[in-house]
Structure 1
Amino acid sequence: MPELPEVEIAARSLASQVTGRTIVGLEHLDWERMLEPLSAEAFAAMISGQCITQVSRRAKWVLLHLANDLTMAIHLRMSGNLTVHYPAEPARTHVHLIIGLDDGRRIFFDDERKFGRVRLLDPDGLAALDAAHGPEPLAETFTAATLAHILAGRRTKIKPLLLDQRLIAGMGNIYASEALWLARLHPLLPAVAIDANGVAALHQAIRAILTQAIEHEGSSLRNYRNGYGRRGQQQDYFLVYDRAGQPCQRCGTTIERVVIAQRSTFFCPVCQLRPEL
């Protein structure tokens, strides 16, 4: 699933191509369940003729802000991609939504698994989406003290806690595993058991790994592409994720894989000592 870095790059690469363009209309939709909760007819009527004034990101949502004060909020989920194409370029098999622009180009929403979702939000709906998510981990206001406050008193294991979008926005399975390795914290460690030094290390690790992943335009393990159709490169720099059976880059111990909260989790059993539970 695209996480914060991938969604950030998706938003940036869309912004550079479609900001200031006017939506001509909804050209294609063959999976109406993508739309929440509007019908295709209502959705088409509300976006047609609207200028895209800005493209941004909140958590794992790409936000296309329209001139009529509506915001098209798009969640890529497991396999979604948003790419911009010229008129002669044919749509691939899994392109379920096409939005036409005034210069003849089209925005494709390619989603093999059909889990992606599109919402059209008024200002109150956008505020509700914002309120449903925790702080952005790359914001200046996300300090070590902020993270300490989030962790305080919680007996939840740190790995699933990092994936809770209500607590920290945009973190996902890949970068949670990477950050915990950087911080030398075991994924099963209860959040409340992390001391001040551990919180500081985790805060630094989260920001470092997300920043690096954005610099490398995200991770492309399967479907992910940016708005130009290019793959990310962060998978070439993985420290622990998807490296089970390979040596730890710090100590040489074999990386292990476990399933925590139904997610594959990768860690070094020496660098990240298992807590006494």
Structure 2
Amino acid sequence: MPELPEVEAARRAIEENCLGKRIKNSTVADDPKVIDGVSPSDFEASIVGKRIVAAHRKGKNMWLQLDSPPFPSFQFGMTGAVYIKGVAVTKYKRSAVKDTDEWPSKYSKFFVALDDGLEFSFTDKRRFAKVRLLDDPVSVPPISELGPDALVDPMAVDEFCNSLSKKKIGIKALLLDQSFISGIGNWMADEILYQARIHPQQSASSMSKENCSTLVKCINEVTNSAVGFDADSLCFPVEWLFHFRWGKKPGNVNGKKIEFITAGGRTTAYVPELQKLCGDQALKEAGKPSKGIDRGNPDDDVEKIGNEDEATNSKVVKCTKISGAKKISKKWSSKAENSGDANDKYSMKTSRANNHPKKESSPSVDDSVDDKDGDAKSFKKISKAKKPSNKKLSPKVEGLDNSENDSDTVDRSKKTRGAKNPRILRKTNEDNENETENQRKQTRGKNSAKRNREESNDYEDKVNEEMNGKQMKGASSAKKTVASGQSRKQQRAKAI
């Protein structure tokens, strides 16, 4: 991208080849994005017939002084470049025009033919440049807003230090600010800071006078060297960062690793081993936590109080550190569950603990709970105590196998220690929930089977009742039929 050395090389090429010559013909592209504020025809009419008196530059801007105003002005942008037919000019990485391309190039935005037959063109492939026609380029933006030129108006050390003391932004961002110092672009800022051994994000106001002096020296050296080589990067010193910074590819310069960060809104190449933060910024950087996560000691069961829920839940369990098994009152458990705070981790742990069979706690642990007026508000802070020996927890009993008793004690102590581990507690709770759900399913299945049996029995009883009713009706009707038959026989007999 064209910076001060590249624009200065273009200015010198025009100064050496075009001064004193008259513009015979001109072609201005119909591209309002690049040709700013004037139509192509008006632009061409304003400069044809005029003589080129001088070529000027400030920062990354160049303008041609003609024998009368207005003057063409060029802001190079990202890919702006000047080419003179038949003259070798400096090319840089993003210059898109080749010697074998058509002339003038299809990317030409401003073309001039001089009275001696020489032709030159300003090209811009990516169309970020600006070509203007100004009566007094120095008195209007953008040139009027530029700071001192890094080549023509180098700042004195004291002036530079005083200016930096008022700036609280990063030093690279400040170097890129064209209103502070004009002409320095991205690659120049990286090179200057590398040679000065200054971190790109170092605050400008925090820099010592010694660092300021070194920075001024490096600005002058890099600028003058690049301009002295006519911006030809192949001639730059081999130890420069310039040769290794492109493409964000990992690499080394003079045996030191290059890394990339964003500073001043731009991709920045620097060498961490040589360019380190100083002062308070270094302390802040050293105090930053590492990327790894400290998961703590799983043997320490620290239940954090619900400070986040303090605004919504007035009953907050105080932080309790327990070295042995936990013993929690049923009353507190029921109140914690009824509070409806599903996010309260302690309430969840309490409900899990109550799902286990009640165990006899260690006699060395203080299990006392403040349950005054029936409301358990807080647990006493329990200090760690030495674990009692297995003999105290499990004394030998006459008539029993003491080895079995000891193994049972060891199992209980393992379970007690396991209760302190949140993972084990969580797993146990899940198992209890699964077991409870299975019991519910079994209960529902039994109830369903019972209802089915009862319905089946009711149906059988109803069928039996209907069958009995039909049989009784049939027997009574038969008796009536027999009785009526006998009565008819008797009547006939009497009649006979």
TM over 0.5: yes
TM-score by length of 2: 0.50
Q: State how far apart, in whole Å, the 2-side matches of 1:260 and 1:174 are.
A: 12
Higher relative contact order (CA 8 A, sep 6+): 1
CA contact (8 A) 1:24 1:49 kept: yes
CA contact (8 A) 2:28 2:43 kept: no
- Return 49-58 or 101-110, whichever deviates more: 101-110
Q: State how far apart, in whole Å, the 1-side matches of 2:45 and 2:23 are.
A: 11
- The alpha carbon displacement at 1:173 in A equals 0.3
Q: Are 1:126 and 2:134 counterparts?
A: no
CA contact (8 A) 1:29 1:97 kept: yes
- The alpha carbon displacement at 1:150 in A equals 2.4
- The alpha carbon displacement at 1:140 in A equals 5.2
Q: State how far apart, in whole Å, the 2-side matches of 1:44 and 1:149 are.
A: 46
The one-letter code matched in structure 1 to 2:226 is A
User: What residue is the counterpart of 1:215 in the other structure?
Assistant: 228
User: What residue is the counterpart of 1:259 in the other structure?
Assistant: 262
- The alpha carbon displacement at 1:235 in A equals 8.4
| Matching residue within 223, 238, 241 for 1:239 | 241
Q: Give 1 or 2: higher helix fraction.
A: 2
CA contact (8 A) 2:9 2:230 kept: yes
Task: Write out the 4+ residue segments of structure 1 that deviate beyond 6 Å after TM superposition.
Answer: none
Q: Superposition RMSD on alpha carbons, in Å?
A: 2.1
Q: Give 1 or 2: higher strand fraction.
A: 1
User: What residue is the counterpart of 1:227 in the other structure?
Assistant: none
User: What residue is the counterpart of 2:188 in the other structure?
Assistant: 175
1:47-58 residue pairs with structure 2 within 5 A? 47-58=47-58
The one-letter code matched in structure 2 to 1:184 is R
Q: State how far apart, in whole Å, the 2-side matches of 1:140 and 1:174 are.
A: 20
In structure 2, stretches of 5+ residues that fail to align are 87-101, 285-496
| Matching residue within 97, 108, 115 for 1:102 | 115
TM-score by length of 1: 0.87
- The alpha carbon displacement at 1:236 in A equals 5.6
- The alpha carbon displacement at 1:247 in A equals 2.5
Q: State how far apart, in whole Å, the 1-side matches of 2:103 and 2:200 are.
A: 44
1:133-144 residue pairs with structure 2 within 5 A? 133-139=146-152, 142-144=155-157
Q: State how far apart, in whole Å, the 2-side matches of 1:159 and 1:103 are.
A: 46
Instruction: For residue 35 of structure 1, give the secondary structure of its aligned residue in structure 2.
Output: coil
User: What residue is the counterpart of 1:72 in the other structure?
Assistant: 72
Q: State how far apart, in whole Å, the 2-side matches of 1:72 and 1:150 are.
A: 33
Q: State how far apart, in whole Å, the 2-side matches of 1:52 and 1:191 are.
A: 42
Q: Is the alpha carbon distance of 1:76 and 1:162 closer, same or farther for their aligned partners in structure 2, counting shifts above 3 Å?
A: same
User: What residue is the counterpart of 1:223 in the other structure?
Assistant: none
Q: State how far apart, in whole Å, the 2-side matches of 1:45 and 1:70 are.
A: 11
- The alpha carbon displacement at 1:218 in A equals 1.4
The one-letter code matched in structure 2 to 1:168 is I
Q: State how far apart, in whole Å, the 1-side matches of 2:69 and 2:105 are.
A: 32
- Return 24-33 or 167-176, whichever deviates more: 24-33
- The alpha carbon displacement at 1:237 in A equals 5.7
Q: Is the alpha carbon distance of 1:112 and 1:170 closer, same or farther for their aligned partners in structure 2, counting shifts above 3 Å?
A: same
- Return 165-174 or 257-266, whichever deviates more: 257-266
Alpha-carbon deviations, 1:81-108, whole Å to 9, x = none? 111126xx72233223312211222221
- Return 19-28 or 238-247, whichever deviates more: 238-247
Residue identity over aligned pairs, in percent, reads 28
Instruction: For residue 36 of structure 1, give the secondary structure of its aligned residue in structure 2.
Output: coil
CA contact (8 A) 1:30 1:97 kept: no
The one-letter code matched in structure 2 to 1:265 is T
CA contact (8 A) 2:176 2:189 kept: yes
Q: State how far apart, in whole Å, the 2-side matches of 1:235 and 1:35 are.
A: 37
- The alpha carbon displacement at 1:202 in A equals 0.3
Q: State how far apart, in whole Å, the 2-side matches of 1:202 and 1:101 are.
A: 43
- The alpha carbon displacement at 1:146 in A equals 2.6
CA contact (8 A) 2:107 2:124 kept: yes
What is the aligned residue count? 261
Q: Is the alpha carbon distance of 1:234 and 1:71 closer, same or farther for their aligned partners in structure 2, counting shifts above 3 Å?
A: farther
Instruction: For residue 34 of structure 1, give the secondary structure of its aligned residue in structure 2.
Output: coil
The one-letter code matched in structure 1 to 2:155 is F
- The alpha carbon displacement at 1:219 in A equals 5.2
- Return 191-200 or 77-86, whichever deviates more: 77-86
